[in-house]
Structure 1
Amino acid sequence: MDAFFASVELLRFPQLADAPVIIGGGRLNVADWMARLNTRLPLHLGRPWGDDGEGGQADLARIPLDQFPRLSDYKGRGVITTATYPARAFGVGSAMGMMKAAKLCPQAIWLPADFDRYRDYSRRFKAEILRLAPVMENRGVDEVFIDFTDVPGGQDDAGAALAQRLQAAIRQATGLTCSIGVAPNKLLAKMASEFNKPNGIAIVQAGDLQTRIWPLPCRKINGIGPKSDAALASHGIGTIGELAAADPAWLCERFGERHGSWLHRAAWGRDDRPVETSSEPVSMSRETTFSRDLHAVNDKAELGAIFTRLCEQVAGDLARKGFVGRTVGIKLRYDDFRIVTRDQSLPQPVQDAAAIRRVAGQCLKRVDLSRRLRLLGVRVSALRRADEAQDEAVGRGESLPLF
């Protein structure tokens, strides 16, 4: 999907279509943000959030641009969730600190993230895809892989015909645009999906590797991060073509047998991963960045409340999705941005918030708590389906207390 969160917001606020818009900023929820906006609006505009006083929703498109809060007014330590294309032109993007972005684009309009709304639109666009092409792999809220192979008409015009039908169906159902990459495998399709954004279709055939893929920077390969990219650059490898020309044995020697072999295959566009129509999560976690640095002693009560809430949220996620986990862990980011993690594996899986908090608390005893903290997170991994774990325990003549 094209700038998914931002595009969903532009459906609600179409007057922002050509403006630089930043979405994100931490813990302020949408209702609170709109309540603040209400207090700034002239009385004749009514109440844009909620109803219009007559039982219907007010017209949010009537809110004047000059009434929206600007990024220059933002104070806090949140990060950008996403940005519209006009905002990206100023060099801002996802995961950038809001305060840093404010220096690059102070005039940008700031909106809070409305994840309930985004999840609703995610379900809607995926339903349209499944109606036309049922072999679909979920890749998060705004991205999927689709196997066209056996879809009627899926091979027409090298896949472009079905891609166009998908775009039209999604646009009709949601008002949103998407960009589609069509290729022989997932690796190349992912890269192709970025070629013609927004609202584009790009088709990459096996014979296009040298002309369309090899000139690209290595970072365009999904899976090559900043560290690997810097390591490759230190050896004079900056493009995918240069990576493809590297000796496979040399890559394995420098980057390890597994990663080096993968780098060579990826540079040659080789990827045999199937489209997985179902997958199980390997972990569930919750974390929060504090509005100010907290200390384990001086801010004990506040930290304790946050810690408990995170454990309860993870437990709720596990219960709602029907999983238990045998490994509980914590994540801390100190005031110098250093990150530490600790975890502990258990003889029996857990799902209950109290049990998760108890084990996570034991993990906390194994880290330095004399430093001030910016972030705290709780994770449960080594997941199993709760019903399967229960059946196995019963088969052994045991009980499985989800304590």
Structure 2
Amino acid sequence: MSDRPHVYAHVDMDAFFVSVELVRRPELRGKPVLVATGTIASRGVVMAASYEAREFGVHSALPLAIAHRRCPQAILIPRDMAFYRRASKKVMEVLHRFSDRVEVAGLDEAYLDLSDCPAPEARARQLKREMLAATRLVCSVGLGPNKLCAKIASDLDKPDGLCVLGPDRMLEAVGDRPAKLIPGVGPRTAERLEVMGIRSVGELASADDAVLDRTLGPRLGRELRQRARGHDDRPVVTEREQKSESRETTFPGDVSDREVLNTTLDELADGVARSLAEAGHVGRTITLKIRLRPFRTHTRSRTIDAHTSDPTLIREVARRLLADFELDAPVRLLGVGVANLMRTNNGSGPAEPSANPADALTLDV
């Protein structure tokens, strides 16, 4: 690594699910299009909305019934996750041409370390051009001295944008935005901040240390205030440095039906198994993550005898963990993870332990 200052890029594919659909259905360009799960009758939910649909107040996570009332002329397309994952793989292939340090943050977004690049802004423009040529998809790119600034920057100039943001412009750019914009400010933390009269990023950035210490504890409170000021020391974590593989999904409404939970669990387990196989990893510790209303998160884990990436086994263990869990409230979020990873060396020779510890990679389903 050179002595140049850190430069990170956050690449966010614009309206990804809809944009991928428009590649194979170009006749729908310029029209309000929705990708959704389920139907209006089955309480389906919008997964993605074209920019034309957004003009009518339709957005992701909106119930289809409400979306239909706001934009009855919208064209509804059922989700096709297999197709989106194939498109995502092509996107990531393009990104790896521009840096050997790429952190996948979702099907449609990733961080790149461009610190060794002498002209990162020109490099980002080249990335956008090559992405369009290779995938026919448009992306927005944010550049910053850390991951937080880069991610926020990518959202400031959409669609098809390129924005540079540093801590010195953080409050000018997003000071009046809700505090939940800051990573680490989830629903419960946002509620606790609001009790203190802290609702915006700017108010969090100027909050008194003593007040934050009393309410959130000294570590979390001060860390969130630093992030609100644009400071973030999280590194880009590549797949090779990955410690675990996980997937999770947030339900649009409360779910208590165990059959629905089991079906969702199977989809998540299959996704984890597929990612493990693609990365050449196997794991021993299988974890269930479950969030109950109101925002109580629990995890349950089981370590098996041998490393695996077998979807049937991962599903079976995850289902057992769920069956043993007493549901005393509706479920809002469900997740499955596999940790304690080893590499399989592409199936030849003995497996070896995975590299340095890192945060789990989470991809929404």
Q: Decide: shared fold, TM above 0.5.
A: yes
Match of 2:48 in 1: 82
Cα displacement (A) at 1:179: 0.8
Let me know the Cα RMSD of the aligned residues: 3.8
Cα displacement (A) at 1:256: 2.2
Among 216, 223, 234, the residue aligned to 2:184: 223
Structure 1 portions without partners, runs of 5+: 27-72, 297-301, 394-403
Match of 2:342 in 1: 385
Among 84, 90, 99, the residue aligned to 1:124: 90
Q: Does 1:189 align with 2:201?
A: no
Q: Which amino acid aligns with 1:24?
A: A
Match of 2:8 in 1: none
Alpha-carbon contact 1:326-1:349 (below 8 Å) kept: no
SS in 2 for 1:241: helix
Match of 1:136 in 2: 102
Cα displacement (A) at 1:312: 7.5
Match of 2:220 in 1: 259
Q: Does 1:236 align with 2:202?
A: no
Alignment: residue pair count: 330
Structure 2 portions without partners, runs of 5+: 1-12, 354-365
Match of 1:8 in 2: 20
Cα displacement (A) at 1:309: 5.5
Cα displacement (A) at 1:246: 0.7
SS in 1 for 2:284: strand
Alpha-carbon contact 1:209-1:268 (below 8 Å) kept: yes
Q: CA 1:182/1:355 → structure 2, altered by over 3 Å: closer, same or farther?
A: closer
Cα displacement (A) at 1:260: 0.8
1:215-235, CA deviations, whole angstroms, 9 ceiling, x for partnerless residues?
333232233233323332332
Alpha-carbon contact 1:342-1:364 (below 8 Å) kept: no
Give me the whole-angstrom Cα distance separating, in 2, the residues matched to 1:220 and 1:295: 32
Alpha-carbon contact 1:133-1:151 (below 8 Å) kept: no
Q: Which amino acid aligns with 1:384?
A: L
Cα displacement (A) at 1:376: 10
1:157-210, CA deviations, whole angstroms, 9 ceiling, x for partnerless residues?
xx2x22211111111212211111111111111011101100111111343234
Q: Which amino acid aligns with 1:86?
A: E
> Percent of aligned pairs with the same residue?
30
Match of 1:104 in 2: 70
Q: Which amino acid aligns with 1:348?
A: D
Q: CA 1:244/1:331 → structure 2, altered by over 3 Å: closer, same or farther?
A: closer
Q: Which amino acid aligns with 2:242?
A: E
Give me the whole-angstrom Cα distance separating, in 1, the residues matched to 2:333 and 2:101: 38
Q: Does 1:282 align with 2:261?
A: no
Q: CA 1:169/1:260 → structure 2, altered by over 3 Å: closer, same or farther?
A: same
Give me the whole-angstrom Cα distance separating, in 2, the residues matched to 1:288 and 1:187: 23
SS in 2 for 1:139: strand
Q: Which amino acid aligns with 1:323?
A: V
Quick check: which has more Rg, 1 or 2? 1
Among 188, 199, 203, the residue aligned to 2:164: 203
Give me the whole-angstrom Cα distance separating, in 2, the residues matched to 1:189 and 1:304: 35
Choose between structure 1 and 2: higher strand proportion.
2
Higher mean Cα deviation, 314-323 or 260-269?
314-323
TM-score (norm 2): 0.75
- Larger RCO: 1 or 2 (CA < 8 Å, sep 6+): 2
Q: CA 1:363/1:232 → structure 2, altered by over 3 Å: closer, same or farther?
A: closer
SS in 1 for 2:138: coil
Q: Does 1:22 align with 2:23?
A: no
TM-score (norm 1): 0.68
